[in-house]
């Protein structure tokens, strides 16, 4: 089974913050999960480098747009490495492969009679890279709060209005196309309200892809940007990637850019006679300690800061666990420490640590040779799979915690430290049974925390080629007698560094 999923491509007007890391980590969790379940995955991320917003930011910084794009695109690449994102490709919209592809898409839409030349007169927000109707403005600003400016210029238009019915039919025939459900209703009612033709070129600046056949115009940055999902596969060539991976299985995006992905993008694709992606899922937005994250408030958190203070897997886990996926959420340092300590240090970490230490001391550091007492986990594995497939990472993670809780409760009830004298055979059975359940927990932890999962699986001497969902079954249970490496802590408890007495 092939599975193609994408993050949005990030604007290069600034450096990455945790909002961006969030989108990428969520996609990565799904990409790793799909690989674990045997799919042939293509996972794309990259940077969105053209348009007025980038040009303006570059001018303000005294740089050429290309220089700013080069520097910030590299920061997004670094963020992907930092967060352990397993993308298979990284596309930049300034690359020749993308430019050629976006122009080919334009020509295909034009050849179908979906593009005409006219002039645009109306409001534009550079921050949002979006056109707004007069009626949408709130106190002279975009509904997002962004400033708008009046634009009057020659422009090519896309006949979006002619896709009104086709889009509604598509949504009705593909109820899974837009998620979560509440967002589907939002988009459907927006389209029901009527669609105007869309301005898809600009003439008042030049930082963009030239319109084929009329070099005075550059393409509207959203048409350019959306085309990345196809250009990375080699469109318009009939490449193996196009055959295997188009239409995309999932575009995972933030709620702010859902309309571009569920109205404009499918209409562009229909106009170019290309299949429409199977699913677009919108996640919510993070605030920081109750405030909107913004440059002017200076409260944007760099992913690097969280990773260096709390650890990589701890950061990935917290981002996925704190907010039900799809909802808005708030980042608070206090909550981050609570989640890390209660779910990772005290629960999973403690479970692994105490079990492996007891095995080390009482079973000669080998997988105990004893009968297994089964700890129920089939229900959790089903719950986990259903929620992962439904893009409900938060709840899937809760399933893992529930299973770890069950193991901890099992240890407390069985009290292997007592059994040591009373019934050593049973003690070995208890330790073996827990170790075997930890093996399962670590396999399903992998998409969230790849490094820690691998570390625990190594402590259990699970061969590297036996760590997929297929290996959850009892036929791959830990082999009695296998020597285990000395136990090591996996999730240390996070402790605030004590403030120095001088307050420095």
Q: Where along the sequence are the contacts to ligand MSP (CB under 6 A)?
A: 8-11, 19-20, 22-23, 48, 225-226, 228, 253-254, 256-257, 285-286, 293
HSE at residue 475, side-chain half, CA atoms within 13 A, is 3
Minimum CB separation of residue 476 from ligand MSP in Å reads 38
Query: Nearest to ligand MSP by Cβ — which residue?
Result: 254
Question: How many Cβ atoms sit within 10 Å of the Cβ of residue 37?
Answer: 17
Minimum CB separation of residue 495 from ligand MSP in Å reads 28
DSSP state of 366: B
CA nearest neighbour of 493 among 343, 303, 334: 343
When the beta carbons of 207 and 446 are compared against ligand MSP, the nearer one is 207
Exposure string over 193-211, b if 16+ CB within 10 A, otherwise e? eebebbbbbbbeeebbbbb
Minimum CB separation of residue 20 from ligand MSP in Å reads 5
Minimum CB separation of residue 416 from ligand MSP in Å reads 44
When the beta carbons of 199 and 341 are compared against ligand MSP, the nearer one is 199
HSE at residue 386, side-chain half, CA atoms within 13 A, is 9
When the beta carbons of 158 and 286 are compared against ligand MSP, the nearer one is 286
When the beta carbons of 80 and 293 are compared against ligand MSP, the nearer one is 293
Q: What are phi and psi of 281, to 5 degrees?
A: -120, 130
When the beta carbons of 160 and 490 are compared against ligand MSP, the nearer one is 160
Question: From CA 265, how far away is CA 281, in angstroms rounded?
Answer: 14
When the beta carbons of 19 and 447 are compared against ligand MSP, the nearer one is 19
Minimum CB separation of residue 381 from ligand MSP in Å reads 30
Minimum CB separation of residue 140 from ligand MSP in Å reads 23
When the beta carbons of 102 and 345 are compared against ligand MSP, the nearer one is 102
Q: What are phi and psi of 16, to 5 degrees?
A: -70, 145
Q: Which helix (H) or strand (E) holds 35?
A: helix 18-36
Q: Which helix (H) or strand (E) holds 287?
A: strand 286-288
146, 199, 209, 264 from 130: Cα distances, Å: 10, 10, 17, 12
Minimum CB separation of residue 319 from ligand MSP in Å reads 10
């Amino acid at each position: 089974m092939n599975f193609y999923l994408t993050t949005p491509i990030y604007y290069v007007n600034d450096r990455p913050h945790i909002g961006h890391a969030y989108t990428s980590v969520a996609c990565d969790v799904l990409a790793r999960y799909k690989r674990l379940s045997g799919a042939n995955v293509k996972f794309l991320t990259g940077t969105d480098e053209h348009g007025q917003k980038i040009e303006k930011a570059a001018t303000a910084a005294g740089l050429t747009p290309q220089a700013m794009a080069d520097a910030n695109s590299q920061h997004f690449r670094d963020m992907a490495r930092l967060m352990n994102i397993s993308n298979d490709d990284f596309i930049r919209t300034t690359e020749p492969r993308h430019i050629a592809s976006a122009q080919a898409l334009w020509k295909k839409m034009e050849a179908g009679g979906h593009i005409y030349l006219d002039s645009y007169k109306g409001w534009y927000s550079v921050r949002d890279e979006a056109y707004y109707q007069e009626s949408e403005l709130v106190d002279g600003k975009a509904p997002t709060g962004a400033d708008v400016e009046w634009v009057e210029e020659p422009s090519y238009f896309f006949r979006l209005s002619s896709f009104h019915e086709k889009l509604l039919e598509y949504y009705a025939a593909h109820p899974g196309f837009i998620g979560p459900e509440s967002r589907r209703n939002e988009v459907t009612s927006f389209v029901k309200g009527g669609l105007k033709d869309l301005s898809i070129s600009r003439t008042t600046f030049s930082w963009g892809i030239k319109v084929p056949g009329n070099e005075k115009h550059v393409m509207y940055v959203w048409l350019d940007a959306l085309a990345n999902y196809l250009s990375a596969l080699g469109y318009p060539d009939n490449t193996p990637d196009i055959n295997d991976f188009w239409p995309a299985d999932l575009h995972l995006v933030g709620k702010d850019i859902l309309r571009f992905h569920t109205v404009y993008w499918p209409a562009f694709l229909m106009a170019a006679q290309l299949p429409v992606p199977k699913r677009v899922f919108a996640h919510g937005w993070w605030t920081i300690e109750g405030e909107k994250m913004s440059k002017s408030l200076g409260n944007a958190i760099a992913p690097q800061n969280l990773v260096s203070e709390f650890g990589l897997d701890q950061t990935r886990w917290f981002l996925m666990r704190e907010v039900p996926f799809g909802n808005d959420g708030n980042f608070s340092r206090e909550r981050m420490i609570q989640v890390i300590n209660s779910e990772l240090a005290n629960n999973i970490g403690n479970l692994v640590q105490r079990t492996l230490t007891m095995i080390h001391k009482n079973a000669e550091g080998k997988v105990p040779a004893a009968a297994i007492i089964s700890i129920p986990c089939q229900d959790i594995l089903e719950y986990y799979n259903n929620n992962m497939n439904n893009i409900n990472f938060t709840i899937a993670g809760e399933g893992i915690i529930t299973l770890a809780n069950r193991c901890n409760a099992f240890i407390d009830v069985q009290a292997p430290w007592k059994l040591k004298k009373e019934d050593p055979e049973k003690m070995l059975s208890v330790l073996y049974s827990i170790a075997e359940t930890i093996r399962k927990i670590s396999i399903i932890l992998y998409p969230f925390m790849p490094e820690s999962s691998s570390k625990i699986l190594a402590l259990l001497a699970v061969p590297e080629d036996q760590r997929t969902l297929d290996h959850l079954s009892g036929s791959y249970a830990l082999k009695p007698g296998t020597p285990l490496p000395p136990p090591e802590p996996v999730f240390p408890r996070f402790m605030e560094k004590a403030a120095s007495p001088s307050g420095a």
